[in-house]
Amino acid sequence: MDKLTALKQYFGHDGFRPGQQALVDGLLAGRDVFGVMPTGGGKSVCYQLPALLRPGVTLVISPLISLMKDQVAALEQAGVPAACLNSSLDTAEMAEVMAKARGGAYKLLYIAPERLASPGFRALAAALTIPVVAVDEAHCISQWGQDFRPGYLAIADFIAALPRRPAVAAFTATATAQVRADIVRLLRLDDPVEVVTGFDRPNLYFDVLRPKSKKDTLLALLEQRRGKSGIVYCATRANVEKVCDALCAAGLPATRYHAGLPDAERRRNQDDFQFDRRPVMVATNAFGMGIDKSNVSFVIHYNMPQSLEAYYQEAGRAGRDGSPADCILLFSPADIATARYFIENGGGNEALTPEERAAVRAQDYRRLDAMAAYCRTTGCLRGAILDYFGQPHAERCGNCGPCRAPAVDRDVTVQAQMVLSCAARIRQKLGYPVGENLLIEVLRGGGSQRLRQLGLDGVSTYGLMKQVPRGEVRRLVEYLEERGFLHRDPAHGGVSVTGQAGELLFHGGTLTMPVRAGEAPALRPGRKAGGAADADAGLLAALKAERLRLAQAGNVPAYIVFSNAVLEDMAARCPRTMDEFLEVSGVGAVKAQRYGENFLHVIEQYAQDTAEQPGMGTS
């Protein structure tokens, strides 16, 4: 069978995505390959397809059990014999998989890196025909990456000890040069075919909001997305608990995931999410790499992550099926302090020398600065991301918050002078600076007990900004901080005027602040975001109901039956025969045979129902 036929037959794809073909060809020709593609770019097919076409069994080294289970389930659905060997199997199951592997039952065998050290597994591997060893999430081999796994360092020796050297394939979504060089060196790739594809994910909409209340904004965003599946990332376990409780209290179907939960609960919650019983997952970044769920239609960050690498990887879990999806970050300057705390107090890797550790920390701070700059930019957000990954791009993408509602520069010189002189007066009076909240209260002429006790209602700037909404004053204070006119003491939070402020206060300097025109578009309901917009909504709902039924009957996650993108294309094309059904993008022969009848029946039924109700049919 040739590769395009196999691609259609087993995976249902009509053609290759950028980069896939070169990697597939490389492996078919027995070369080593190295694929750097963004999350959702389609790395799996690059080794799964050659695995089908070459004799023997391809070993796939993968860092997470959940990831393996998911991939194996998807392969089995597509009619590809595959299995995994990991610590979730008991001794008998392990022995069964090993025996079947020895008998040539599988085309792909997924293993955790730690398995490579087991003598039993080494003996098995020596007896098998292994055309390819594929290393997924290959950045785990680098201590410069975010997910260093010492077990990955054993891969090269394992391969060297095999009776015949297989082709080695490495895949990652981490683009930095340092990590890439580590991968090539530590896996001892031999003159690999290297493919680095574009990092742009055009179906993702990006936005950064600075809400007055993150909680209220989150609730509003989720309310607009009822019935959709998504992830809410928080920086800390405590935030996960708090946010998840708030969502559940508001009647939203949320569950949670963080490293502090017992194993059994983590697994249960992940399954609830995966199977859409609880389609909203609130999680720390521990909920990560293994998530291959393709119908995630939004990723909201409740806190800013520590780097753009982490952000793009987490946000990239949205829209993996190619449907429009939203990536929204709820930013507040306090997030930067939290991130700094994590860098200072983060576990650090015991395997590193003190010098190496210092270098890693310096790097972490540079990453954090870039992340903060993303949150503050008023330019195109996609452009900011692609700049960071060193990719050329158009000036404006048209599919991010700032592009939809461009910022305009507002002259805020007078208001800035009010804030700065108020901070200066307070300091003069008390001999020490007060925190942001009290400063804002003085400016707005508040009457709290603390304010009066300190006599701050007597300073000349008291009540100067009475008419300005609290949120706007706060925004201005934060902007002045960002621009270096105010300094917030990290220890006690006191806000004081810097030397730079003299320019604005006494020397006729002016200050503009970029302000977005209109409301944040992500908050406007009913946004229609391109894609399969012509699909009939009623039919789509019927197809989704059928998918859910089939998924439950087969005990697999819904998106394993068909992704949203496939159902949208199905609803748009409205196939009436098996041949037409096979035309639907993402439908392969095996799946057509398995599910075709069911979906064709739903379409038939729907057509009849709507025909009987004039005025309500498809149009």
Beta pairing class for 167-172 and 193-196: unpaired
Nearer to ligand ADP, 217 or 564 (CB): 564
Query: Are 129 and 101 spatial neighbours (Cβ–Cβ below 8 Å)?
Result: no
Residues 205, 391: contact at Cβ < 8 Å? no
Task: Give which of Mg ion, ligand ADP, none residue 48 binds (C-beta under 5 to 8 Å, depending on kind).
Answer: none
CB-hemisphere CA count at 13 Å for 464? 22
Interface map 245-274 toward Mg ion (x if CB under 5 A) = ------------------------------
Q: How far is the CB of 290 from Mg ion (least distance, A)?
A: 10
For residue 351, report the phi and psi dihedrals to the nearest 5 degrees: -70, -5
Q: What DSSP state is assigned to residue 496?
A: E
Smallest separation, CB 541 to ligand ADP (Å): 21
| Residue 13 or 301 having the CB closest to ligand ADP | 13
Instruction: List strands edge to edge, sheet with 204-209.
Output: 204-209, 325-330, 296-301, 229-233, 280-283, 254-257
| Shortest Cβ 618–ligand ADP spacing (Å) | 26
CA-wise closest residue to 474 among 521, 529, 513, 526: 513
> Which of Mg ion, ligand ADP, none does 258 bind, CB closer than 5 to 8 A by kind?
none
Minimum separation from the CB atom of position 74 to ligand ADP (A): 8
Q: At 7, list the tokens.
A: 């691609």
- Minimum Å distance from CB 293 to ligand ADP? 10
* CB of 320 or CB of 382, closer to ligand ADP: 320
Nearer to ligand ADP, 201 or 210 (CB): 201
Judged by beta carbon distances under 5 to 8 A according to partner kind, the member of ligand ADP, Mg ion, none in contact with residue 41 is ligand ADP
Query: How near is the Cβ of 109 to ligand ADP at its closest, in Å?
Result: 18
Judged by DSSP in three states, 82 sits in strand
Give 209 or 281: the residue with its C-beta nearer to ligand ADP. 281
Length of the chain measured in residues: 619
**Binds 546, which of Mg ion, ligand ADP, none (CB < 5 to 8 A, cut-off by type)?**
none
From residue 569, alpha-carbon distances to 293, 529, 562, 602 in Å are 19, 15, 11, 15
Shorter beta-carbon distance to Mg ion: residue 200 or 441: 200
Contacts for 598-606 with beta carbons within 8 Å, 24 or more apart?
A: 598/546, 598/550, 599/543, 599/546, 599/570, 600/575, 600/576, 602/542, 602/543, 602/546, 603/539, 603/543, 603/570, 603/574, 603/575, 603/576, 604/576, 605/542, 606/538, 606/539, 606/542
Q: Identity (one letter) of the amino acid at 616?
A: M
Q: Which residue has the tokens 């009623």?
A: 538
Out of ligand ADP, Mg ion, none, what residue 294 binds, judged by CB under 5 to 8 A for its kind, is: ligand ADP
- Minimum distance of ligand ADP from residue 45's CB (angstroms): 5
Q: CB 43 → ligand ADP: shortest distance, Å?
A: 3
For 586, list phi and psi in degrees, rounded to 5: 100, 0
> Pick from ligand ADP, Mg ion, none: which does 39 bind, CB < 5 to 8 A by kind?
ligand ADP
Of 440, 456, 416, the closest CA to residue 493 belongs to: 440
* Min dist. Cβ of residue 559 to ligand ADP (A): 8
Question: Which partner, ligand ADP, Mg ion, none, binds residue 71 by CB below 5 to 8 Å per kind?
Answer: none
Name the strand (E) or helix (H) holding 488: strand 486-488
229-233 and 254-257 beta bridge pairing: unpaired
Residue 89 CB, nearest distance to ligand ADP (Å)?
23
* Total residues interacting with Mg ion, rule: CB under 5 A: 1
Looking at beta carbons only, is 176 or 461 nearer to ligand ADP?
176
3-class secondary structure, 353: coil
Given a contact cutoff of 8 angstroms between Cβ atoms, the answer to whether 77 and 592 are in contact is no
Closer of 258 and 320 to Mg ion (Cβ): 320
Contacted entry of ligand ADP, Mg ion, none for residue 361, CB cut-off 5 to 8 Å set by kind: none
Site residues, ligand ADP (CB under 6 A):
13, 16-17, 20, 37, 39-45, 292, 294, 320-321, 563
Q: Among residues 15 and 390, whose Cβ is nearest to ligand ADP?
A: 15
x/- string (CB under 5 A) for Mg ion, residues 18-57?
-------------------------x--------------
Q: Which partner, ligand ADP, Mg ion, none, binds residue 17 by CB below 5 to 8 Å per kind? A: ligand ADP
Task: Choose the one of ligand ADP, Mg ion, none that binds residue 16, judging by a C-beta under 5 to 8 angstroms depending on kind.
Answer: ligand ADP
Q: What is the largest CA-CA distance in the chain?
A: 87
Distance CA 236, CA 255 (A): 15
CB of 291 vs ligand ADP, minimal distance in Å: 10
Residues near Mg ion (CB under 5 A) are 43
